[in-house]
C-alpha cells in the first residue's frame, strides 16, 4: 500500500471517519427534532375553535421540508432545518 503524504489538491479525505460520525449525529438529532415537532403539531391541532390551525400548518410544512432534506441527504439543508426545528415551541 502506498502512503501519500503530499496531497496538494486534497483528494484524500483524512477525516472521513469523523465526518461520517458528525453526519450521523446530525441525522439523528434532526430526526429527534422532527419527532418532537410532530408532537407539537398534535398539540396545536387540539386547540379549540381552530385557533392553532395556522401554527400547525406552518410546522407541518417545516417538518415536511426537514424530512425532504434527509431524503435528499442535503447536509446544508439538514443543518438549517435542525436549527429551525429547535426553536419551535
Local confidence band at 89 (pLDDT 50, 70, 90 cut-offs): confident
Query: Cβ distance 70 to 30 under 8 Å?
Result: yes
What does the pLDDT read at residue 8? Answer: 56
Average pLDDT over residues 7-20: 55
pLDDT digits (tens, 9 = 90+) for 23-76: 889 999 999 999 999 999 999 999 999 899 999 999 999 999 999 999 999 999
Query: Cβ distance 89 to 41 under 8 Å?
Result: no
Mean pLDDT computed over every residue of the chain: 85
Which percentage of the chain shows pLDDT scores above 90? 71
Q: Provide the grid cell at 30.
A: 434532526
Amino acid at each position: 500500500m502506498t502512503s501519500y503524504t503530499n496531497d496538494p489538491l486534497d483528494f484524500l479525505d483524512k477525516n472521513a471517519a469523523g465526518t461520517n460520525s458528525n453526519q450521523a449525529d446530525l441525522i439523528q438529532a434532526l430526526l429527534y427534532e422532527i419527532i418532537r415537532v410532530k408532537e407539537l403539531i398534535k398539540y396545536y391541532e387540539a386547540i379549540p375553535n381552530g385557533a392553532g390551525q395556522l401554527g400547525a400548518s406552518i410546522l407541518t410544512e417545516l417538518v415536511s421540508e426537514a424530512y425532504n432534506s434527509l431524503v435528499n441527504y442535503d447536509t446544508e439543508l439538514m443543518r438549517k432545518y435542525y436549527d429551525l426545528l429547535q426553536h419551535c415551541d
